């Protein structure tokens, strides 16, 4: 069997930076630490990424591309089960790039690319949630006044965007560690989707509660 080609240094740097940023927070990780973790010289790292912002920007661009593709899946959401899967897929993506959300305000204050492009991320999320709501309404599973759609979509995006910050405040020492990922994602998806509950037809509301109970049991088992 042919051996796999070794990963290029530039890609290894990105992967290591993402892991360290997620574990310790971007403000607490220097490029020197990234180089040391990889066992390369700082000069080698700077050859590929002359500034820390370039590392952050590349990681953000990868996240943004994956997010854009995932948000298109909102067009296929027709019922609570579809919405549950869609929401958890979003939370899984956010978790893989959680440093962006953990340190969002700090990053926006000092990184011009994120300052401008993360606003578009929020708009795209709202647009996707509106598409999700429209699909469920067309399928007869959601009853909502047109004037309430935007407020509901915005509220869901607020929870989606700041859920990990809430988890962190609840448990600063452990919340963002990999061992706690499953519980954080399940709770985030559950609370975001429960904003739909007042607008769901009775059968779909019961199904949402059934899904919530099943995943709550799974969360307890993981804990």
Q: What are phi and psi of 109, to 5 degrees?
A: -75, -20
Domain range enclosing 212: 60-222
Same domain, 210 and 127: yes
**Per-residue confidence (pLDDT) for residue 221, from 0 to 100:** 52
The pLDDT profile of the chain, 223 residues, written as one tens digit per residue, is 444 444 699 999 999 999 999 999 899 999 999 999 999 999 999 999 999 999 999 999 999 999 999 999 999 999 999 999 999 999 999 999 999 988 888 899 999 999 999 999 999 999 999 999 999 999 999 999 999 999 999 999 999 999 988 888 888 888 778 888 888 888 999 999 999 999 999 999 999 998 887 766 655 554 5
Domain assignment of residue 104, yes or no: yes
Same domain, 83 and 107: yes
Looking at the structure of the chain, the number of domains it has is 2
> Which CATH number fits the domain that encloses residue 133?
1.10.357.10
**Per-residue confidence (pLDDT) for residue 169, from 0 to 100:** 86
Same domain, 163 and 214: yes
Same domain, 42 and 66: no
Same domain, 75 and 36: no
Same domain, 214 and 113: yes
């Amino acid at each position: 069997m042919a051996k796999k080609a070794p990963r290029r240094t530039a890609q290894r740097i990105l992967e290591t930076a993402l892991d360290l940023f997620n574990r310790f927070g971007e403000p607490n990780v220097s490029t020197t630490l990234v180089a040391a973790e990889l066992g390369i010289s700082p000069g080698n790292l700077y050859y590929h990424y002359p500034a820390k912002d370039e590392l952050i920007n590349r990681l953000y661009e990868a996240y943004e591309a994956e997010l854009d593709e995932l948000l298109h899946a909102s067009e296929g959401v027709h019922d609570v089960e579809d919405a549950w899967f869609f929401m958890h897929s979003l939370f899984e993506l956010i978790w893989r790039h959680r440093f962006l959300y953990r340190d969002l305000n700090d990053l926006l204050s000092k990184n011009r690319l994120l300052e401008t492009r993360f606003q578009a991320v929020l708009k795209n999320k709202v647009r996707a949630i509106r598409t999700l709501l429209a699909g469920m309404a067309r399928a007869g599973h959601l009853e909502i006044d047109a004037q309430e759609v935007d407020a509901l979509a915005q509220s869901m995006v607020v929870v989606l965007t700041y859920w990990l910050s809430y988890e962190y405040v609840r448990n600063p020492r452990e919340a963002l560690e990999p061992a706690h990922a499953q519980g954080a994602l399940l709770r985030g998806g559950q609370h975001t989707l429960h904003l739909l509950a007042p607008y769901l037809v009775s059968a779909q509301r019961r199904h949402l509660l059934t899904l919530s109970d099943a995943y709550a049991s799974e969360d307890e088992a993981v804990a």
